[in-house]
Amino acid sequence: MTIEPTDGIRVNESVIIPRDELVARASRAGGAGGQHVNTSSTRIELMWNVSTSRALTDEQRERVRQKLISRLDSEGNVRVVASDRRSQLQNRQSAESRLAELVRAALVVPKKRRPTKPGRAAKQARLDAKKRVSDKKRERRWRGD
C-alpha cells in the first residue's frame, strides 16, 4: 500500500504520516486580529499517536519515542499547536509542517564517532610548545651568581 503525498504529510522519502491518523482540534486563538479573534476558531491543535501509527517501522517508532519523550503524553500522542496566523487553514498547514520537522529531526541517526589519535607531527608540536614555555620561564628566574 503506497500513500500519496496528498493523503499524508511527507516527513522524508520513506515516511509519510497518513492524514487519517491525525486529530485536529480548532479553538479560539489570542493575538492579532481585533474583533475577528473573538469570533473565529483559528488556533489548531494537531495530535498524532506515535505508538499506533502505521507510518513508522518498529525501529523508527522507538527512535521517535526516545527523541520526543518530553513531548509525548501518557497515550503516546505528540501535540503540535499553531496559532500564529489569522486563518485556520494556514495554521493547520503550519502545524503539519512543524510536526513533519519534529519527526524528521527525531528520525536522524547520528553518525558513529570513530576515535582518533593525534598524529606524530601534532605530538611533536605540542612538546616543542611546552619546551618553549619552559625555557621562557627558566630564563625569567633569578640566578644568584
Sorted by where each starts, the structural domains of the chain and their CATH numbers stand as 5-107 (3.30.160.20)
Per cent of the chain over pLDDT 90 is 32
Q: CA angle, corner 143, sides to 137 and 144, nearest 5? A: 155
Backbone angles phi, psi at 72, to 5 degrees: -90, 140
State which of 42-46, 55-59, 128-132, 138-142 shows the largest mean pLDDT. 128-132
* Residue whose cell numbers read 520513506: 14
The strand ranges marked E within 1-145 are: 8-10, 16-18, 22-27, 43-49, 77-82
Task: Answer yes or no: is pLDDT of 4 > 50.
Answer: no
When comparing pLDDT for 35 and 77, which is higher?
77
Task: Answer yes or no: is pLDDT of 6 > 80.
Answer: no
Report whether 94 contacts 84 (CB < 8 A): yes
Report whether 124 contacts 132 (CB < 8 A): no
Report how far residue 125's alpha carbon sits from residue 136's, in angstroms, rounded to the nearest whole number. 17
pLDDT band at 37 (very low <50, low <70, confident <90, very high): low
Task: Answer yes or no: is pLDDT of 73 > 80.
Answer: yes
Looking at residue 2, what is its pLDDT?
Answer: 42
Report how far residue 35's alpha carbon sits from residue 145's, in angstroms, rounded to the nearest whole number. 92
Looking at residue 98, what is its pLDDT?
Answer: 92
Looking at residue 126, what is its pLDDT?
Answer: 97
Direct distance between the N- and C-terminal alpha carbons of the chain, in angstroms, rounded to an integer: 93
Q: Kindly report, residue by residue over 82-134, the tens digit of the pLDDT.
A: 888 878 888 999 999 999 999 999 988 889 999 999 999 999 999 999 999 99
